Amino acid sequence: MQPQTLAANFMRSEDALSLQPEPGLQREILASLPNLMVVRHHMRSGYVGAVHAHPQAQAVYVVSGRLRVTIAEQQIEAGPGDSFVVAGGVSHAATALTDAVLIDVFTPERQDYRPRNEP
């Protein structure tokens, strides 16, 4: 593996790749490496994410807003400053009770978050 330079891994917020994968959800891909990815999600109040699972472990930090989170059939409510971790392969979903901003960290990187035409 080649050493990574700081310039290759530093991401200014205004340069982040911004996507809207579904109504009510905006995704900004921030810094990443093949084994780690940082993503900012903006959820509109009322957004209901589908129950899903992925092989990546996921750490979530709630920057603002409130969510109802279901992890393996257990429900929690999370607000600003709260965080939680979902192990790879565990089903989970989130509902935005208010407009919310989250920072998600995945390991390894979520290739499915990248546009198909991006290397």
Query: Could you list the residue range(s) of the whole structural domain that residue 53 is in?
Result: 25-111
> Would 68 be classed as within a structural domain?
yes
> Would 12 be classed as within a structural domain?
no
> Would 45 be classed as within a structural domain?
yes
Contact residues for 77 (Cβ-Cβ < 8 A; gap 6+): 66, 67, 68, 69, 97
- pLDDT tens for the chain, 119 residues long, are 444 555 567 888 898 989 999 999 999 999 998 999 999 999 999 999 999 999 999 999 999 999 999 999 899 999 999 999 999 999 999 999 999 999 999 999 999 998 876 55
> Would 18 be classed as within a structural domain?
no
Burial class (CB in 10 A: 0-12, 13-18, 19+), 56: buried
> Would 64 be classed as within a structural domain?
yes
> Would 4 be classed as within a structural domain?
no
Count of domains for the chain: 1
Going by C-alpha positions, the residue among 91, 92, 90 that lies closest to residue 68 is: 92
> Would 69 be classed as within a structural domain?
yes
This prediction has a pTM of 0.89
State the pLDDT at residue 11.
84
Q: What is the CATH number of the domain that holds 32?
A: 2.60.120.10
Give tens-digit pLDDT for 9-42.
788 889 898 999 999 999 999 999 899 999 999 9
> Would 97 be classed as within a structural domain?
yes
